[in-house]
């Protein structure tokens, strides 16, 4: 080789002779190399220094190797193991031989050595100890313990631990208390006490008298004991106190009473018979002629080749019918008139009956008469803001709570003939009705009540309400809960595992749930995520004060479930507070990742505005949002304009759960102008209750003809099954098949889905495509009725 290491040779003369021998051997090969001696100094110009760094922090270790000829190569070792940046990208060696640890890990704790080497020698620096520490963090608070006192004042506490994460390698411990206490008062049990005995009664015909007392001094409460002893005492009278009776006078009074009772019963029977006959005639008159049932049904067009479906052939067997009485709400004329197939009655305005706030305005005497024989009548809640109610018979109807997405469809024949029900529909406020949630369960819909409970229904009604979760049931376990008569909540249905034999069935859509129910009651949807992929839809709504006369300007950002009833509630509250909507609502997905929701405002014009928020963002806890029971969740951003003349504000609202996976919304508005307008496509404040044919798009008699044509099975499938497929309802075939009239249930669902936006032409086209020419889809205009 051309170089010889002689740095460690002690006998110089011997070394010289060796060099002379090599010189002769390599004289012709490398004569210039012997003019310089190789070397590598022992001391490093700069050695690495030990450090203590936090987890995920960047670490820089300096190393300047000693001078040498040739120039030394540098490598780094951790605990005597060579560091290779190619195999571990968390390490990086700079051009000037410094070592960079991009993100310190617990495994990076150790002794680091800088090694310099050339062909002459190998030098090691002093080891530098790198200690990666972890600062402690608090876990979430536990639930409050039960009150320490059984009766009276006591304490309850909750705790947390410094384990999220646990401090390591000298990291700082958590600051603050790990235990919190709160005063509590436990209600003491009250044992019952007897009231004073009443006075003795007069001596009765059985020659006895009695007295009583009540357990009301005080009444037992909160688990207290009932009163011990008798609450009733009797005592025999003496012979002198026993009443003396005269049989003759008593018999006369008895006979007179019996005659009076017989007369009253006879008169009552006559009245009942008359009222029943009048009621039966009044109800039957509602469907006595198809021209009445199809009033207000608008004409439509189908394919020219099916033009024969556009007319109805008169029934040649129909005769003129006389009717004695009035039609109630259909016509003001009274007395006797003839009903034929001609247009005897004027068409109803706009083709619909409207019950303002659910109240009917017929003749009072007639209304009382008709209600006198109904089999069920009950006093209903009258909270106009959240309740709709109306009176219905076998023709059915519809109840709607405006701007909430909540409605109740009562199909024809759902109420038995001869009965009249007053039915209500209400959305429960969360502070009025607490729904118990266990574990990670979350409320996915409003709590809706329809009733009165216990009424007899011949067919299921359809309750429609919004929900706020992604409709993929692979991520959710969604249950329908119903409140029992005792007030307890019970699971009545698991979505995706519906049984056709049960009285409940659900049609789940993107934003709406349609519940088929044979019983009225209080319902709600509750969900539990199956894995981290589950997400709820949230609606972000921005408000500010209507008038701003100061330099400060507040923006309130509400975070709510994406259902119309919650949005309506917040709008009403802000209207009372004098707030205004400054931007259209934004929808985002909130995942079950246990991460809090963070919000911040950026990119304001610094020359005109500045934020008074001390932190970089505001945060709403995960459980406050996921639980779904917190009302009016919001955060307020306080901004300051530098001049009162500044009215234009442009900025970015950023919302995120996990860094790098958020959404950003641009805001650009004038704080002095009118609020942002919101259109409510479901605002039917003047039609919260519709009774009879006006509540349906398909006239009653046409509906009956469709059902009779499609209910019977057809070998080529041209029956109700094809109708369900054409309307994209084939997932519910088993449910439809379990009903006496599958077609009627399909039409009920179509009515519930398309009442305000449905195209009757589309339904007629589907019927024509099925090939049921005998279905007789009659289209009757107002002029033909």
Q: What is the pLDDT of residue 530?
A: 85
Q: What is the pLDDT of residue 410?
A: 97
Domain boundary, last residue among 264, 287, 310:
287
Q: What is the pLDDT of residue 559?
A: 94
CATH code for the domain of 53: 2.60.40.10
Q: How confident is the model at residue 560 (pLDDT cuts 50, 70, 90)?
A: very high
Q: What is the pLDDT of residue 367?
A: 37
Task: Establish if 593 belongs to a structural domain.
Answer: yes
| Phi, psi dihedral angles at 754 (to 5 degrees) | -125, 25
Residue 235 predicted with pLDDT over 70: yes
Q: Cα dist. 457→382, 421, 438, 519 in Å?
A: 23, 10, 33, 7
Residue 756 predicted with pLDDT over 90: no
Domain boundary, last residue among 110, 133, 156:
133
Q: How confident is the model at residue 772 (pLDDT cuts 50, 70, 90)?
A: low
Give pLDDT tens digits for 330-386. Answer: 333 333 333 333 333 333 333 333 333 333 344 433 333 343 334 333 444 445 678
Give the pTM. Answer: 0.54
Task: Establish if 644 belongs to a structural domain.
Answer: yes
Counting the structural domains of the chain, the total is 3
Query: Can you state the percent helix, strand and coil of the chain, rounding each to 5?
Result: 20, 30, 50
Q: How far apart are CA 347 and CA 61, in angstroms?
A: 92
Name the token pair of 393.
């018979």
Residue 32 predicted with pLDDT over 50: no
Q: How far apart are CA 474 and CA 47, in angstroms?
A: 58
Task: Establish if 177 belongs to a structural domain.
Answer: no
Q: What is the pLDDT of residue 408?
A: 97
Q: What is the pLDDT of residue 34?
A: 39
Q: What is the pLDDT of residue 256?
A: 86
Residue 105 predicted with pLDDT over 70: yes
Domain boundary, last residue among 108, 133, 158:
133
Q: What is the pLDDT of residue 669?
A: 84
Q: How far apart are CA 468 and CA 536, in angstroms?
A: 6
Task: Establish if 70 belongs to a structural domain.
Answer: yes
Q: How far apart are CA 403 and CA 683, in angstroms?
A: 5
Q: What is the pLDDT of residue 382?
A: 47
Q: How confident is the model at residue 1 (pLDDT cuts 50, 70, 90)?
A: very low
Q: What is the pLDDT of residue 395?
A: 95
Q: What is the pLDDT of residue 432?
A: 66
Q: Which of 137-141, 509-513, 552-556, 729-733 has the lowest mean pLDDT?
A: 729-733
Work out the number of other CB atoms within 10 angstroms of the CB of residue 253: 9
Q: How confident is the model at residue 25 (pLDDT cuts 50, 70, 90)?
A: very low
Q: What is the pLDDT of residue 182?
A: 85
Sign of the alpha-carbon dihedral angle for 398, 399, 401, 402: positive
Specify the higher pLDDT residue, 210 or 301. 210
Give pLDDT tens digits for 177-196. Answer: 888 888 887 778 888 898 98
CATH code for the domain of 581: 2.60.40.2660
Q: How confident is the model at residue 674 (pLDDT cuts 50, 70, 90)?
A: low
> Percentage of the chain surpassing pLDDT 70?
76
Q: What is the pLDDT of residue 492?
A: 93
Task: Establish if 750 belongs to a structural domain.
Answer: no
Asked if 666 and 603 count as a contact pair (C-beta separation under 8 A), the reply is no
Q: Cα dist. 586→26, 655, 677 in Å?
A: 85, 11, 14
Q: Which of 166-175, 194-203, 311-320 has the lowest mean pLDDT?
A: 311-320
Task: Establish if 645 belongs to a structural domain.
Answer: yes
Q: Which residues pair with 690 in a beta bridge?
A: 398
Residue 123 predicted with pLDDT over 50: yes
Q: Which residue has the tokens 């502070």?
A: 431
Q: What is the pLDDT of residue 338?
A: 34
Residue 556 predicted with pLDDT over 90: yes
Specify the higher pLDDT residue, 117 or 337. 117
Task: Establish if 516 belongs to a structural domain.
Answer: no
Task: Establish if 758 belongs to a structural domain.
Answer: no
Q: What is the pLDDT of residue 14?
A: 40
Q: Which of 405-414, 422-431, 655-664 has the lowest mean pLDDT?
A: 655-664
Q: How far apart are CA 233 and CA 230, in angstroms?
A: 7
Q: What is the pLDDT of residue 351?
A: 38
Q: What is the pLDDT of residue 119?
A: 85
Q: Which of 116-125, 624-633, 642-651, 774-783 has the lowest mean pLDDT?
A: 774-783
Average pLDDT, the chain: 77
Give residue 264's domain range.
247-287
Q: Which of 616, 622, 558 is nearest to 590 (CA)?
A: 622
Q: How far apart are CA 102 and CA 106, in angstroms?
A: 13
Residue 293 predicted with pLDDT over 70: no
Query: Which long-range contacts does 228-236 make (Cβ < 8 Å, 24+ apart)?
Result: 229/194, 231/194, 233/197, 234/208, 234/209, 234/210, 235/200, 235/208, 235/209, 235/210, 236/207, 236/208
Give pLDDT tens digits for 444-465. Answer: 999 999 999 989 999 999 999 9
Q: Cα dist. 591→168, 212, 478, 511, 711 in Å?
A: 31, 64, 16, 17, 45
Q: What is the pLDDT of residue 318?
A: 35
Q: What is the pLDDT of residue 430?
A: 66
């Amino acid at each position: 080789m051309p170089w010889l290491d002689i740095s460690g040779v002690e006998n110089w003369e011997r070394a010289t002779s060796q060099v002379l021998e090599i010189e002769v051997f390599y004289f012709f090969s490398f004569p210039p190399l012997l003019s310089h001696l190789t070397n590598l100094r022992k001391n490093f110009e700069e050695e690495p220094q030990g450090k203590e760094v936090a987890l995920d922090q960047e670490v820089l270790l300096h190393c300047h190797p000693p001078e040498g000829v040739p120039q030394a190569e540098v490598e780094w070792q951790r605990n005597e193991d060579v560091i290779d940046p190619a195999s571990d990208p968390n390490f990086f060696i700079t051009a000037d031989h410094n070592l960079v640890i991009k993100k310190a890990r617990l495994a990076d704790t150790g002794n680091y050595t800088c090694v310099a080497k050339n062909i002459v020698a190998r030098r090691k620096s002093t080891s530098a100890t790198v200690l990666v520490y972890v600062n402690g963090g608090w876990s979430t608070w536990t639930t409050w313990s039960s009150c320490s006192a059984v009766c009276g004042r006591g304490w309850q506490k909750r705790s947390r631990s410094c384990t999220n994460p646990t401090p390591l390698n000298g990291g700082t411990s958590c600051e603050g208390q790990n235990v919190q206490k709160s005063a509590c008062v436990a209600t003491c049990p009250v044992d019952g006490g007897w009231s004073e005995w009443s006075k003795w009664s007069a001596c009765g015909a059985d020659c006895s008298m009695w007295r009583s007392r009540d357990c009301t001094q005080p009444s037992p409460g909160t688990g207290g004991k009932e009163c011990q002893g008798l609450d009733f005492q009797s005592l025999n009278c003496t012979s002198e106190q026993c009443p003396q009776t005269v049989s003759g006078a008593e018999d006369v009074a008895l006979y007179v009473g019996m005659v009076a009772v017989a007369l009253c019963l006879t008169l009552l029977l006559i009245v009942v018979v008359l009222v029943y006959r009048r009621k039966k005639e009044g109800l039957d008159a509602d469907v006595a002629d198809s021209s009445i049932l199809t009033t207000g049904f608008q004409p439509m067009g189908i394919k020219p080749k099916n033009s024969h479906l556009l007319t109805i052939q008169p029934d040649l067997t129909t005769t003129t019918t006389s009717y004695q009485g009035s039609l109630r709400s259909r016509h003001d004329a009274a007395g006797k008139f003839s009903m034929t197939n001609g247009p005897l009655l004027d068409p109803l305005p706009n083709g619909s009956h409207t019950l303002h706030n659910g109240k009917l305005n017929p003749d009072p005497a007639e209304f009382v008469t008709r209600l006198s024989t109904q089999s069920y009548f009950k006093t209903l809640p009258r909270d106009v803001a959240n309740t709709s109610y109306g009176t219905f018979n076998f023709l059915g109807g519809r109840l709607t709570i405006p701007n909430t997405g909540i409605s109740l469809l009562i199909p024809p024949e759902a109420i038995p003939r001869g009965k009249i029900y007053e039915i209500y529909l209400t959305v429960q406020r969360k502070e009025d009705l607490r729904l118990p949630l266990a574990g990670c369960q979350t409320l996915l819909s409003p709590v809706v009540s329809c009733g009165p409970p216990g009424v007899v229904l011949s067919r299921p009604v359809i309750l429609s309400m919004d929900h706020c979760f992604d409709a993929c049931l692979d991520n959710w376990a969604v249950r329908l809960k119903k409140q029992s008569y005792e007030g307890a909540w019970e699971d009545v249905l698991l979505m995706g595992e519906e049984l056709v034999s049960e009285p409940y069935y659900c049609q789940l859509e993107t934003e709406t749930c349609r519940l088929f129910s044979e019983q009225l009651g209080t319902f709600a949807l509750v969900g539990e995520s199956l894995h981290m992929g589950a997400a709820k839809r949230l609606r972000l709504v921005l408000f500010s004060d209507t008038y701003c006369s100061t330099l400060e300007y507040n923006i309130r950002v509400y975070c709510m479930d994406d259902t119309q009833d919650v949005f309506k509630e917040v709008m009403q509250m802000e209207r009372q507070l004098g707030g205004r909507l400054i931007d259209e609502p934004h929808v985002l997905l909130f995942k079950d990742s246990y991460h809090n929701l963070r919000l911040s405002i950026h990119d304001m014009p610094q020359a005109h505005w500045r934020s008074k928020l001390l932190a970089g963002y505001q945060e709403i806890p995960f459980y406050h949002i996921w639980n779904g029971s917190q009302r009016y969740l919001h955060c307020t951003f306080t901004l300051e304009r530098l001049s009162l003349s500044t009215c234009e504000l442009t900025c970015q609202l950023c919302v995120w759960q996990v860094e790098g996976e958020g959404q950003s919304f641009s805001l650009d508005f004038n704080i002095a102008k009118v609020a942002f307008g919101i259109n409510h496509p479901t605002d039917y404040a003047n039609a919260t209750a519709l009774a009879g044919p006006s509540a349906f798009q398909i006239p009653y008699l046409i509906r009956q003809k469709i059902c009779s044509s499609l209910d019977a099975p057809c070998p080529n499938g041209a029956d109700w099954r094809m109708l369900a497929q054409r309307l994209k309802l084939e997932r519910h075939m088993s449910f439809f098949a379990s009903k006496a009239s599958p077609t009627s249930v399909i039409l009920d669902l179509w009515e519930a889905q398309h009442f305000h936006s449905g195209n009757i032409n589309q339904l007629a086209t589907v019927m024509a495509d099925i090939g049921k020419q005998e279905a007789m889809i009659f289209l009757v205009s107002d002029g033909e009725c």
